[in-house]
Chains A and B, each alone.
Chain A
Amino acid sequence: MASNTQDAAHGAAEAAHGSAPGMPQLDFSTFGNQIFWLAIALVAIYLILSRVALPRIAAVLAERQGTITNDLAAAEDLKAKAVEAEDAYNKALADARAEAQRIAAEARAEIQVGLDEAIAKADVQISAKAAESEKAIGEIKAGALESVKVVAADTAEALVAALGGKADTKAVAAAVADRMKG
């Protein structure tokens, strides 16, 4: 790793100090030079670090910590808001459901009332119609009985006539009436 200049310098140093070609670390003639420049380098590094680098990095780290803390707090806030919003939503949903049920019940009651009215009206009409029909049926029945009497009397007279007799209309009518009862 030694360059030619270093070799040459080493030779020169050896010639100058006459020291053995041992460890350059123990060549005390270079100590002053090394210590002088080391002091300057250390002071320079100390100033660079303490005046500029370390405060800046500390500030950046603190700022980052602050940002992270703020972000976490903001996230916590947003989470609370989300929970709040969800609660509000659930409440609105429950309200709407109750309202819907109320409206449905109301509508049902209204319809029931209308229905009952209609049923009552229909019942009245039906009973009226039934009475009318009964009356008509009674009339028809009476008419039919009368017709049966006439037909029976006519038939009896015709039968009597066919047998060669002379039918007494009044007796036939009485007999028919008598049979009709029995």
Chain B
Amino acid sequence: MGKLFFYVALALVVVSGVLFAPEHAALAIHPMDQFNVASLTGGAVSTFAITNVTLWLALAVICVFLLMVVGSSRRAIVPGRAQSIAELTYGFIYKMVEDVAGKDGVKFFPYIMTLFMFILMANFLGLIPMSFTTTSHIAVTAILAGLVFFTVTIVGFVKNGVGFLGLFWVSSAPLALRPILAIIELISYFVRPVSHSIRLAGNVMAGHAVLKVFAGFAGALGLFSFLPIFAITAVYALEVLVAFIQAYVFTILTCVYLKDALHPSH
């Protein structure tokens, strides 16, 4: 059955490639167009304009609502599918916060859960063809990473006072090395939000751009368009993985930074 389907699909691809071969097979690929921010009502993209960003952020909020609130609304002792997923997500992040940031990190669990749910939903919604991926924009991820950076820094100083600076003073190293290490630690601390934000946006953007490039090849190759279509399928599968892994990585790094703020000693 699967084999038959495969051959039928292959035949369709070949036939359509012959019938609908582009008359001018010029490579007209615009892999970055999918990231354009545009007003839905027309006009300029002003601060309060309703744009495709607004739409897809709203959809992410709705998806979070559907999974976490509607999914768990039956409060069943023996959970259904949606409730199971909601509970698994809850348990997954709760355990991560508890294991990485420690017991006193648990009161930050709602914030970390917010970050994870938002990134996860935005990444997966971005995998819908023709959609807009909010997490592919550095403006979005920089705000997320900046929130984490400032929260962690403020929490660190509030909890430990000047002792938070001990994070940069590696007391286990030889005394002569400590000032040098302190400079390195300080630089790495301020590079954190940069790598934190660019890692997420870069991964998501690169994957989507690659998909779009292959899609452009598929349009231009005519008869042989099945090759890039296979490639798109493979890359899409990888992107599904990346969508989850990047949400996971962002969240666990947040937990690690939070641990540094709560327990700054090395």
Instruction: Give A contacts to B, CB under 8 Å.
Output: 1-3, 5-10, 12-13, 16, 21-27, 29-42, 44-46, 48-50, 52-54, 56-61, 63-64, 67
With both chains docked as a complex, state the minimum distance between the C-beta of B246 and any C-beta of chain A, in angstroms: 16
Q: Is B182's beta carbon under 8 Å from chain A?
A: no
Most chain B CB neighbours (cut-off 10 Å) among A13, A21, A25, A48: A25
Q: Which of A6, A38, A41 contacts B38 (CB 8 A)?
A: A6
Chain B residues whose C-beta falls within 8 Å of the C-beta of A9 in the assembled complex: 36-39
Chain A residues whose C-beta falls within 8 Å of the C-beta of B134 in the assembled complex: 34, 38
With both chains docked as a complex, state the minimum distance between the C-beta of A28 and any C-beta of chain B, in angstroms: 8
A37 touching B212 by the CB < 8 A rule? no
Q: Is B158's beta carbon under 8 Å from chain A?
A: no
In the complex, the chain B residue whose C-beta lies closest to that of A27 is B37
25 CB contacts below 8 A, A to B, read A1-B130, A2-B34, A6-B33, A13-B45, A24-B33, A24-B37, A26-B138, A27-B37, A33-B54, A34-B37, A36-B47, A36-B48, A38-B139, A41-B60, A42-B118, A48-B68, A49-B113, A53-B86, A54-B68, A54-B90, A54-B110, A54-B113, A56-B69, A59-B75, A60-B83
Q: Which of A5, A23, A53, A67 contacts B35 (CB 8 A)?
A: A23
Q: Which 10 A-B pairs have the closest CB atoms?
A: A9-B38, A2-B33, A53-B68, A32-B47, A30-B37, A41-B57, A1-B34, A50-B110, A24-B35, A34-B139
Q: Which of A2, A27, A33, A34 contacts B30 (CB 8 A)?
A: A2
Which residues of B107-151 are within 8 A (CB) of A? 109-111, 113-114, 117-118, 129-131, 134, 136-140, 143, 147
Please measure, in the bound complex, the distance between the C-alpha atom of A22 and the C-alpha atom of B54, giving whole angstroms: 22
Please measure, in the bound complex, the distance between the C-alpha atom of A95 and the C-alpha atom of B35, giving whole angstroms: 89
Chain A residues whose C-beta falls within 8 Å of the C-beta of B205 in the assembled complex: 25
Q: Is B225's beta carbon under 8 Å from chain A?
A: no
Chain A residues whose C-beta falls within 8 Å of the C-beta of B109 in the assembled complex: 54
Chain A residues whose C-beta falls within 8 Å of the C-beta of B118 in the assembled complex: 41-42, 45
B38 touching A13 by the CB < 8 A rule? yes
Q: Is B211's beta carbon under 8 Å from chain A?
A: yes
A30 touching B68 by the CB < 8 A rule? no
B77 touching A64 by the CB < 8 A rule? yes
Chain A residues whose C-beta falls within 8 Å of the C-beta of B60 in the assembled complex: 41, 45
Please measure, in the bound complex, the distance between the C-alpha atom of A36 and the C-alpha atom of B243, giving whole angstroms: 24
Task: Assess A25 versus B35: contact at CB under 8 Å? Given A33-B49, A38-B140.
Answer: yes
Task: Assess A30 versus B32: contact at CB under 8 Å? Given A40-B57, A56-B75.
Answer: no
Please measure, in the bound complex, the distance between the C-alpha atom of A59 and the C-alpha atom of B52, giving whole angstroms: 37
Please measure, in the bound complex, the distance between the C-alpha atom of A59 and the C-alpha atom of B76, giving whole angstroms: 11
A60 touching B140 by the CB < 8 A rule? no
In the complex, the chain B residue whose C-beta lies closest to that of A67 is B77
B51 touching A33 by the CB < 8 A rule? yes
